Amino acid sequence: MDNFSEDSIILNSFFVRALQDHESGPKALGWGSETSQKIRFRILCEIGNLNGKNILDFGCGFGDLYGFFTENGKKNLGRYVGVDMNPFAIEKARQKYQGVEFRVGDYLALKEFPEGSFDYVVASGVFNIEIPHWQQYTYASLLEMYRVCKNAVGINFLNAQTILPKSEGSHYTDPCELLKFANSNLNFRSVLRQDYWPNDFTMYIYKCLAEQQ
């Protein structure tokens, strides 16, 4: 499941074009608006008590989730690491948040971390682009995210069940299919949230009940 060079090229090309068109801000990373970006961040932060926890942000872009953490009272995070496949985005993140750990790479970069390296692993807007092997690429990424987390994975997707118009080139995920995969391959307990944005859903995949308090 590691031969996804075509998918990586397509994903990186999409974000390179977005960066060329917008240079900075949410639209440079494929977000519709700053409002939708922050709503999704807020929902991801509700996965558990993140104070003092080690966080891996997969597909971190400019590191805006780290900024959201610090702006919303979670200044005592433990270790934060941001990973993104786009070198330009990582360079921007390093300039914006000096002293914070950012790395260039796709899901294969997660193999560098031992199992359970982070309390929580989160990803926002990472799997919303249509690519040839979307399911295999996404599931391989989820397996690595789950491996390196200690407590839970939090991740959001565009919802295939939305009644809103769908954007060309975007991938819309069936939440039932994702739940089926999570329950069969990853799960201690999965929570599906569809209560915050009309064309979106977030899944929390927990390893440890104690960390859900």
57-93 pLDDT tens trace: 999 999 999 999 888 765 678 899 999 988 888 999 9
Rounded Cα gap, residues 92 and 175, in angstroms = 33
Rounded Cα gap, residues 83 and 120, in angstroms = 14
Rounded Cα gap, residues 2 and 70, in angstroms = 35
Tens of pLDDT, residue by residue over 179-188, are 999 888 887 7
Residue 98: exposed, middle, or buried by beta-carbon count in 10 A (0-12, 13-18, 19+)? exposed
Tens of pLDDT, residue by residue over 191-207, are 999 999 889 999 999 98
Tens of pLDDT, residue by residue over 20-48, are 554 555 444 445 678 888 999 999 999 99
Q: Which of 122, 128, 144 is nearest to 66 (CA)?
A: 122
CB 145 within 8 A of CB 58: yes
Residue 23: exposed, middle, or buried by beta-carbon count in 10 A (0-12, 13-18, 19+)? exposed
Domains (ranges, CATH) in the chain? 5-212 (3.40.50.150)
pTM confidence score: 0.85
